[in-house]
Amino acid sequence: MDLKLRGKTALITGGSKGIGKAIAFRLAEEGCDLHLAARNAEDLEMVAAELRDDYSVLVTVHPVDLSSGDNAVALVAACDDVDILVNNAGAIAAGSISDIDEATWRGGWDLKVYGFVNLAREMYRAMKARGHGVVLNVIGIAGGEVTEFNYIAGTTGNAGLAAFTRAMGGGSSADNIRVLGINPGMTATERLVNLMRQNAENKGLDPDDWRQLTSTMPFGRLAEPEEVADLCAFLVSGRAAYISGTVVTIDGGLSSRGHLFG
């Protein structure tokens, strides 16, 4: 299937690792030129070099901390010609209301919540001026689908981002812009795999046997980043031209249980 992405340009935040990196490779495979943003310049350059070698696309890197609103403005000014924005940067600490103090709460939200909002607002202006664009927010099932006592800051932030996505996407068609989101479930990113390896060791297992801990997950495994990237590529493509104001879940049915942990 031709996704009609060849010649498009995408900005992906959190593009040096995990789901963001997988999205970058999938879009490059479809012929997209890329802008990749993340905090670590070295990681970005390594990914960019691999993408250029594998797919002969243009890749520009932007080492930037998007927890700052001023940095979001500067990033859009540096690449305001993009057709697609993928908001993906950020992780919010786990813990209950008793565990997460104000500084931790605000720190997580500055990047994952306000970072998404600030970048979407600035990029929307540029896309509106050019008459087209797609904004995809990578949110998460905690808050997007279910609520979790022991992930209170993330649950609340993601719920807000899901509402933000639906609200923007409900009216953005007037400007020929689509705004939508995805809710990935537990996905085998480097970060989560490292946590699973540590959990395996804590349980007396060899860290390499961490997959034994996924037996209760849907299909007995975590999602692969490439599976999430495939969904993203379709949603930002011309094949999904009538999809806006919605958030699509990819979690193997995990959230249908009504809880994520325990």
Give the model's confidence band at 223: pLDDT under 50 very low, under 70 low, under 90 confident, else very high.
Answer: very high
Q: How far apart are CA 9 and CA 47, in angstroms?
A: 17
* CA-atom Rg of the chain in angstroms: 18
The mean pLDDT value for 40-53 works out to 97
For domain 9-187+223-247, give the CATH superfamily.
Answer: NAD(P)-binding Rossmann-like Domain (3.40.50.720)
pLDDT tens readout for residues 182-208? 999 999 888 888 888 988 888 888 888
83 has pLDDT over 80:
yes
Percentage of the chain beyond pLDDT 90 is 82
**Distance between the two ends of the chain, CA-based, in angstroms?**
40
259 has pLDDT over 90:
no
pLDDT tens readout for residues 113-170? 999 999 999 999 999 999 999 999 999 999 889 999 999 999 999 999 999 999 999 9
**DSSP-assigned letter for residue 222:** P
The mean pLDDT value for 222-239 works out to 97
In this predicted structure, what is the pLDDT of residue 116? 98
In this predicted structure, what is the pLDDT of residue 260? 66
In this predicted structure, what is the pLDDT of residue 261? 59
If 0-12 CB within 10 Å is exposed, 13-18 middle and 19+ buried, where does residue 31 land?
middle
What pTM value is reported for the model?
A: 0.95
Residue 88 gets the label, from left (phi > 0), alpha (psi -120 to 50) or beta, of: alpha
262 has pLDDT over 60:
no
The mean pLDDT value for 16-32 works out to 97
In this predicted structure, what is the pLDDT of residue 21? 97
Structure-block tokens of residue 195: 């946590």
User: For residue 201, how far is the Cα from the chain centroid?
Assistant: 29
249 has pLDDT over 60:
yes
In this predicted structure, what is the pLDDT of residue 225? 96
Per domain, the residue ranges of the chain are 9-187+223-247
The mean pLDDT value for 31-38 works out to 97
253 has pLDDT over 90:
yes
In this predicted structure, what is the pLDDT of residue 200? 83
The mean pLDDT value for 44-53 works out to 97
The mean pLDDT value for 37-62 works out to 97
pLDDT tens readout for residues 95-120? 999 999 999 999 999 999 999 999 99
CA dihedral 251, 149, 91, 121 (to 10 degrees): 90
Structure-block tokens of residue 212: 């034994």
pLDDT tens readout for residues 91-100? 899 999 999 9
